[in-house]
Chain A
Amino acid sequence: MRLLTHNMLSSNIKGVEKGFPLRIEAEKVVEKPVEMNADFLRKMFEKVEWKAFLEASRSMGYAQLPEEVDSGMLESDEFLSRFHHALLELHLEEGALVCPETGRRFPVNKGIPNMLLHEDEV
């Protein structure tokens, strides 16, 4: 799972009001290179919750993103390539996602988060 997906995902447990962002417990992170598309990054920049993204990238062992951002940074190739790398090239392979409100762990195996809820969570 890439941070792109992590940034869109929230805990869906019944009664949970703020299920975002899921905290990442990373056991294994892999990198898979993909080509950069600056237009896509600019669009995604509008959608990404930066603080959650920043934290997520750190928990994946990547510390090259700036704390504060503004859309002016999208002019910088340097920024774009870091944003690209963190958003689309880092994959959480093994570990877990943790609901910020309840602490419920959603395990991640072979890159796939198990988001299935127990019956009493629906």
Chain B
Amino acid sequence: MASRPELVAPPEIFYDDAEARKYTSSSRIVEIQASLSERALELLALPDDGIPKLLLDIGCGSGLSGETLSENGHHWIGLDISPSMLNVAVEREVEGDLLLGDMGQGLGLRPGVIDGVISISAVQWLCNADKSSHNPILRLKAFFTSLYRCLANGARAVFQIYPENINQRELILKAAMRAGFAGGIVVDFPHSTKKRKEFLVLTCGQRAVNSMPEGKDDDGESCSDDDSEDEENQTVRVSDRHRPQKKQKWNKSGKGKEWIKRKKEQMRRRGNAVPPDTKYTGRKRKDRF
């Protein structure tokens, strides 16, 4: 990667209309973000009870990460600071609700209501001071404390991050621990410069936590990035190695496009305001099997 977007401009400026469009129409990016989101969802280790959950997507952008949540049947609320990215999300008719907001200002959500959080390629942005009034430490603190508050007991938050260096990783991790989270960093493909991916996996509250989930590697052996975790973080570790999440079933019984169109037509006949049908209406979700 040539230069880090974080060093170019503040996020709401960097992700302008042109960049938001370019970002979302790159099939390479779409693919990468989808697989990162799948992995984050797996690390969330939601209860395997087939009931949709209410999740947050922090730095949701144009909805590439949120779409993975929808495909798995969950409801989500996405927060992003870039109006252009959110506009693209609206155009693409994502199923989550969108909020224009700055995670560094803290989240205005009621306590204990959120079942899980993902954030894909976004939190490293908090390490920059884009305005004279910005203090990264305070902004990270505001973010993690408010996040901790809105999570249900035992819920997890998984952040895929691109820290610029060790200091940034430490900064983020420390802020999370101070806010009360337990957990640490999971590294997938640590030996590959290209495929290496870092996930900050956090739990909140009491539910028993034994060991960090393991990272993936090409040789099929699992690995954990020991040098990135200091003693403090190892006192509490994230729950037992979970089974890969069962593919959930509700998509299968989906009534699909025709059903939605019929239902919309009914609502229109009753004189209600219903958006027009587009190519996105009831689009087929990826087959999960």
Q: Give the B-binding residues of A (Cβ under 8 A).
A: 1-2, 4-5, 7-12, 19-20, 28-35, 37, 39-40, 43-44, 47, 49, 88, 93, 110-117, 119, 122
Name, among B51, B97, B106, B113, the residue most crowded by chain A CB atoms within 10 Å (CB to CB). Answer: B97
Separation of A19 and B255 alpha carbons in the complex (Å): 39
Which B101-131 residues have C-beta < 8 A from chain A? 101-102, 105-110, 113-114
Closest 6 CB pairs of A and B: A12-B108, A33-B263, A115-B101, A5-B97, A39-B51, A40-B52
Across the interface, do B86 and A112 meet the contact criterion of CB distance under 8 Å?
yes
Find chain A residues with CB under 8 A from B110 CB. 7-10, 20, 49
Across the interface, do A4 and B54 meet the contact criterion of CB distance under 8 Å?
yes
Across the interface, do A37 and B52 meet the contact criterion of CB distance under 8 Å?
yes
Report if A115-B108 is in contact (Cβ < 8 Å); known contacts: A33-B263, A35-B255, A40-B75. yes
Report if A9-B102 is in contact (Cβ < 8 Å); known contacts: A29-B273, A39-B50, A112-B90. no
Across the interface, do B260 and A116 meet the contact criterion of CB distance under 8 Å?
no
Find chain B residues with CB under 8 A from A88 CB. 75
Across the interface, do A40 and B101 meet the contact criterion of CB distance under 8 Å?
no
B98 to chain A, nearest CB (A): 5
- Asked if B87 lies at the interface with its beta carbon under 8 angstroms from chain A, I say yes
- Asked if B100 lies at the interface with its beta carbon under 8 angstroms from chain A, I say yes
Name, among A1, A117, A119, A122, the residue most crowded by chain B CB atoms within 10 Å (CB to CB). Answer: A122
B62 to chain A, nearest CB (A): 13
Across the interface, do A114 and B250 meet the contact criterion of CB distance under 8 Å?
no
- Asked if B158 lies at the interface with its beta carbon under 8 angstroms from chain A, I say no
Query: Which of A35, A47, A93 contacts B113, CB < 8 Å?
Result: A47
Across the interface, do B114 and A111 meet the contact criterion of CB distance under 8 Å?
no
A115 to chain B, nearest CB (A): 4
A82 to chain B, nearest CB (A): 15
Across the interface, do B108 and A111 meet the contact criterion of CB distance under 8 Å?
no
A3 to chain B, nearest CB (A): 10
Across the interface, do B250 and A37 meet the contact criterion of CB distance under 8 Å?
yes
Name, among A28, A93, A117, the residue most crowded by chain B CB atoms within 10 Å (CB to CB). Answer: A117
Q: What is the 8 Å Cβ interface bit string for chain B, positions 262-273, against chain A (1 contact, 0 not)?
A: 011001000011
- Asked if B254 lies at the interface with its beta carbon under 8 angstroms from chain A, I say yes
A71 to chain B, nearest CB (A): 16
Across the interface, do B77 and A8 meet the contact criterion of CB distance under 8 Å?
yes
Name, among A4, A93, A111, A115, the residue most crowded by chain B CB atoms within 10 Å (CB to CB). Answer: A115
Find chain A residues with CB under 8 A from B260 CB. 33
- Asked if B278 lies at the interface with its beta carbon under 8 angstroms from chain A, I say no
Across the interface, do A112 and B98 meet the contact criterion of CB distance under 8 Å?
yes
A111 to chain B, nearest CB (A): 7
Separation of A113 and B79 alpha carbons in the complex (Å): 10
Across the interface, do A122 and B77 meet the contact criterion of CB distance under 8 Å?
no
Across the interface, do A35 and B254 meet the contact criterion of CB distance under 8 Å?
yes
- Asked if B244 lies at the interface with its beta carbon under 8 angstroms from chain A, I say no
User: Which chain B residue has the least Cβ–Cβ distance from A42?
Assistant: B51
Find chain B residues with CB under 8 A from A20 CB. 110
Across the interface, do B274 and A31 meet the contact criterion of CB distance under 8 Å?
yes
- Asked if B236 lies at the interface with its beta carbon under 8 angstroms from chain A, I say no
Separation of A4 and B96 alpha carbons in the complex (Å): 11
Across the interface, do A12 and B54 meet the contact criterion of CB distance under 8 Å?
no
Find chain A residues with CB under 8 A from B105 CB. 12, 116-117, 122
Find chain B residues with CB under 8 A from A28 CB. 273
- Asked if B220 lies at the interface with its beta carbon under 8 angstroms from chain A, I say no
Separation of A14 and B178 alpha carbons in the complex (Å): 21
**What would be 13 A-B contacts, judged by CB atoms less than 8 Å apart?**
A5-B77, A5-B97, A8-B54, A9-B99, A9-B109, A10-B109, A30-B275, A32-B274, A34-B95, A47-B54, A112-B90, A116-B81, A122-B105
A36 to chain B, nearest CB (A): 11
